[in-house]
Amino acid sequence: MKNALRISCSRRNLKVVRDFVTEYLTAYQLPDLQLNQIVLAVDEVVANLIIHANSEDESQHLDLALDVRNKQFGIEIFDDATSSYAPATYHDPDLQEYIRQGRKGGVGMALVNRIMDRVEFSTQGNRNVCRLYKQL
C-alpha cells in the first residue's frame, strides 16, 4: 500500500490528495463519518499550504506521508515555503463575531483542530512540516 505522495502546489491536486488519503484509510474499515472527517481535515491543511504558504506556485511541491501505528493515523505534510504564512500562531476565531460581520473563510483550521486529536507545525532545517494525528 502506497503511503507517500508528492504534488505540485496547484488546487487541481486537492482531489488527488483526497483520493490518496481515502484509498489509504479504506483498508482500516473506518466508519464513513470518521473517514470523511479525516479527509476533510487533510484537504483543508493542504489547501492552506498550497494557497497561502506557496501562493499556488506549481514549481513548488508538497510531500505527504501517511502512517497508522497503534490504531493512530498520522500524516506528515512537508513544504519548502519561505512565505510569512505562520499556521503555528493560529488561534480559533470568535465564530459569533465572524457571523455578526458576515465574514467568509478563516475557519478551516478551527475545523481541523476539532476533527484531529493533535495538529503540529514545525520547521526541520529548510523544510516546514505539518503533522496531523487521529486515533482510529
Over residues 56-67, the pLDDT tens digits come to 999 999 999 999
Give the rounded percent of residues in the chain with a pLDDT score beyond 70.
81
**Residues in CB range of 65: below 8 A, 6 or more apart:** 3, 4, 75, 76, 78
What mean pLDDT is reported for the chain? 88
Conformational region of residue 70, where left means phi above 0, alpha means psi within -120 to 50, and beta covers everything else: left
pTM: 0.85
Residue of higher predicted confidence among 89 and 28: 28
CA atoms within 13 A on the CB side of 63: 7
- At 42-51, the pLDDT tens digits run 999 999 999 9
| pLDDT for 90 | 53
Determine which of 22-36, 92-106, 107-121 has the lowest per-residue pLDDT on average: 92-106
Residues in the chain: 136
pLDDT of 81: 86
**Domain architecture of the chain: domains with CATH:** 4-135 (3.30.565.10)
DSSP per residue over 24-52, as a string? Answer: HHHTTT--HHHHHHHHHHHHHHHHHIIII
Amino acid at 28: Y
